């Protein structure tokens, strides 16, 4: 340590502390930057590359909440110990954020080699952690970058590793990525969309569109799913498949969702009173304890009956922080809001979850519906899902129905509800209201 800090007699224990993370005893961010700086100086005459990386624990926060802060600290100490033990002679590891660690490999010269190292670290961290009587499991993601020339400064190297980490995290848990220029471009595009979206949300420019959900047998519209739509002056129309994940990631999903729900409930007040409104909640909203309060306060303000509202959530949303999701779902159900499990069959479907959580409805993902005509396995899966829902007393809606033959088959299997382009595409509030007024199948009985 003394060597690292230099030999100046001015160095004291206090200076030492300034470079050490008190919880884990590893070096801190300052020490890490310092080390890179020195290595860059050393390599001024020597063209050999070296590698840095940032490692971020996936889903540490829910573990912290679940096991308690003390246990969280203990896990971080164990993580630090494992990482330190994995460093060979020249390599260093530091703790640079709450659940972020950084490593420096002076003798790693290629992208493949640093990937290999990072994968090994992730592997080491994936073994279970003892926390008192219990064990916890963690995964981690890593982003790496290589120093190739004197043009790379410490800041640049670290920021490249961060860009790569961001990329790794976006593509799932437990991944490793090495910085490329394309990542930088992609990250810039995301930031552009984020900024435009922030502006649009504060200007109230995201609109709800509504797609009909029908009773399959009678072909009667029984409700609508709200789907957010956004057209930006410069970017044009941006699909929710793009802007919703960005809104989640950058913390805009709360205000965006509140805006869309307010507009949607205002529109749905004018629909026949037996028609429900369905609304998607993002996984990150099921981690935020204020979500329930926000929804209820919007319903109160717009005067929309909570018993006409249905919330769609996905399995991913339940996995991130099951305890918090359960609390939010229970709060919503206690005022009569119905809860649907969306996109069933695509994620890490767990039947256990269907037992622990009570859902009012299950939506079969359109991937199954799309292949129902050609593919025997899909057919069997749909039949099994339908039988299960019947047993559990859940309603079912098959998503993405585009052809009559698909609808016929689903009816023959006993599927009650359907949604898809065959019955109608999503339309704005005005068009939806006009459709309802004109529709003979659903004569308009205006609510209160």
Give the footprint of ligand C2E on this chain (CB under 6 A): 211, 226-228, 239-241, 244, 257, 260, 280-282, 312, 342-343, 366, 400-402, 419-421, 426
Q: Which of ligand C2E, Mg ion, none sits in contact with 146, Cβ below 5 to 8 A by type?
A: none
What angle in degrees, to the nearest 10, is found between the helix axes of 240-249 and 181-202? Answer: 90
CB of 21 to ligand C2E, least distance (A): 37
Distance (Å, whole) CA 187 – CA 190? 5
Burial 134-156 (b: 16+ CB within 10 A, else e): eebebbbbbbbbbbeeeebebee
Q: Which of ligand C2E, Mg ion, none sits in contact with 68, Cβ below 5 to 8 A by type?
A: none
Computed from CA positions of residues 239, 243, 244, 245, in that sequence, does the dihedral angle turn out positive or negative? positive
Q: Which of Mg ion, ligand C2E, none sits in contact with 265, Cβ below 5 to 8 A by type?
A: none
Considering only CA atoms, give the Rg of the chain: 26
- Residue nearer to Mg ion on the CB measure, 55 or 385: 385
Structure tokens at 101: 């660690």
Write down the H helix ranges in 141-180.
154-170
- Residue nearer to Mg ion on the CB measure, 99 or 399: 399
Helix (H) or strand (E) holding 50: strand 50-58
- Residue nearer to ligand C2E on the CB measure, 244 or 385: 244
Query: Among 153, 219, 155, 180, which Cα is nearest to 422's?
Result: 219
CB of 169 to ligand C2E, least distance (A): 19
- Residue nearer to Mg ion on the CB measure, 263 or 361: 361
CA 167 from centroid of its chain's CA atoms = 13
Collect all residues with Cβ–Cβ distance below 8 Å to 379 and sequence separation of at least 6. 372, 409, 413
Q: Which of ligand C2E, Mg ion, none sits in contact with 145, Cβ below 5 to 8 A by type?
A: none
- Residue nearer to ligand C2E on the CB measure, 99 or 312: 312
- Residue nearer to Mg ion on the CB measure, 74 or 207: 207
Q: Which of Mg ion, ligand C2E, none sits in contact with 153, Cβ below 5 to 8 A by type?
A: none
- Residue nearer to ligand C2E on the CB measure, 106 or 420: 420
CB of 363 to Mg ion, least distance (A): 5
CB of 290 to ligand C2E, least distance (A): 15
Write down the H helix ranges in 180-280.
181-202, 240-249, 253-268
Q: Which of Mg ion, ligand C2E, none sits in contact with 324, Cβ below 5 to 8 A by type?
A: none
- Strands lying side by side in the sheet with 92-97: 92-97, 100-105, 50-58, 139-147, 176-178
CB of 347 to ligand C2E, least distance (A): 12
- Residue nearer to Mg ion on the CB measure, 145 or 211: 211
Which residues are near Mg ion by CB under 5 A? Answer: 280, 312, 342-343, 399
Q: Which of Mg ion, ligand C2E, none sits in contact with 239, Cβ below 5 to 8 A by type?
A: ligand C2E
CB of 422 to ligand C2E, least distance (A): 7
CB of 311 to ligand C2E, least distance (A): 10
Query: Among 400, 356, 359, 394, which Cα is nearest to 378's?
Result: 400
Write down the H helix ranges in 250-338.
253-268, 291-302, 315-320, 322-334
Which of 440-446's residues contact partners 24+ apart within 8 Å by CB, and which partners?
A: 441/219, 441/220, 441/221, 442/220, 442/221, 442/272, 442/275, 443/272, 444/271, 444/272, 445/272, 445/273, 445/274, 446/270, 446/272, 446/273
Q: Which of Mg ion, ligand C2E, none sits in contact with 241, Cβ below 5 to 8 A by type?
A: ligand C2E
Structure tokens at 260: 């869309």
CB of 257 to ligand C2E, least distance (A): 6
- Residue nearer to ligand C2E on the CB measure, 142 or 228: 228
CB of 266 to Mg ion, least distance (A): 20
CB of 21 to Mg ion, least distance (A): 43
Q: Which of ligand C2E, Mg ion, none sits in contact with 191, Cβ below 5 to 8 A by type?
A: none
Q: Which of ligand C2E, Mg ion, none sits in contact with 240, Cβ below 5 to 8 A by type?
A: ligand C2E
Q: Which of ligand C2E, Mg ion, none sits in contact with 257, Cβ below 5 to 8 A by type?
A: ligand C2E
One DSSP character per residue, 94-150 reads EEEETTEEEEEETT--SHHHHHHHHHHHHHHHTS-EEETTEEE--EEEEEEEEE-ST
Query: Among 113, 111, 97, 109, which Cα is nearest to 55's?
Result: 97
Distance (Å, whole) CA 411 – CA 218? 10
CB of 384 to ligand C2E, least distance (A): 21
- Residue nearer to ligand C2E on the CB measure, 134 or 219: 219
- Residue nearer to Mg ion on the CB measure, 101 or 368: 368
């Amino acid at each position: 340590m003394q060597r690292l800090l230099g030999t100046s007699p001015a160095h004291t224990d206090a200076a030492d502390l300034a470079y050490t993370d008190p919880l884990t005893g590893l070096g801190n961010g300052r020490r890490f930057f310092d080390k890179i700086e020195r290595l860059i100086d050393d390599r001024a005459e020597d063209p050999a590359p070296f590698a840095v990386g940032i490692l971020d624990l996936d889903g540490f926060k829910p573990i912290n909440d679940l096991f308690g802060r003390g246990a969280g600290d203990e896990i971080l100490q164990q993580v630090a110990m494992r990482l330190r033990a994995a460093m060979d002679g020249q390599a260093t590891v530091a703790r640079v954020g709450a659940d972020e660690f950084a490593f420096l490999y002076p003798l790693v010269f290629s992208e493949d080699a640093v990937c290999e190292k990072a994968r090994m670290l992730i592997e080491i961290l994936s073994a279970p952690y003892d926390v008192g009587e219990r064990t916890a499991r963690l995964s981690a993601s890593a982003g790496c970058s290589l120093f190739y020339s004197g043009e790379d400064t410490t800041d640049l190297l670290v920021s490249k590793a961060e860009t790569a980490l961001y990329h790794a995290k976006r593509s799932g848990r437990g991944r490793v990525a090495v910085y490329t220029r394309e990542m930088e471009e992609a990250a810039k595009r995301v930031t552009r969309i984020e900024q435009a979206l922030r502006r649009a949300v504060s200007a109230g420019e995201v609109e709800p569109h509504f797609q009909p959900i029908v009773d399959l047998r009678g072909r009667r519209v029984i409700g609508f799913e709200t789907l957010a739509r956004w057209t930006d002056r410069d970017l044009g129309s941006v699909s929710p498949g793009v802007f919703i994940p960005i809104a989640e990631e950058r913390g805009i999903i709360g205000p965006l969702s509140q805006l869309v729900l307010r507009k949607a409930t205002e529109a749905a007040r004018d629909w026949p009173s037996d028609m429900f409104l369905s609304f998607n909640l993002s996984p990150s909203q099921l981690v935020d304890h204020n979500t329930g309060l926000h929804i209820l306060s919007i319903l109160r303000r717009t005067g929309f009956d909570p018993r006409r509202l249905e919330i769609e959530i996905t399995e991913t949303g339940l996995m991130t922080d099951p305890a918090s999701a359960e609390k939010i779902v229970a709060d919503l159900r206690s005022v009569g809001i119905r809860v649907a499990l969306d996109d069933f069959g695509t994620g890490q479907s767990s039947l256990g979850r269907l037992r622990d959580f009570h859902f009012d409805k299950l939506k079969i993902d359109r991937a199954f519906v799309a292949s129902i005509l050609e593919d025997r396995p899909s057919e069997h899966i749909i039949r099994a899902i339908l039988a299960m829902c019947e047993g559990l007393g859940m309603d079912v809606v098959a998503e993405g129905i585009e052809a009559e033959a698909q609808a016929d088959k689903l009816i023959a299997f006993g599927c009650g509800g359907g949604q898809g382009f065959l019955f109608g595409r999503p339309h704005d509030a005005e068009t939806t209201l006009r459709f309802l007024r004109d529709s003979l199948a659903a004569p308009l009985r205006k609510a209160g």
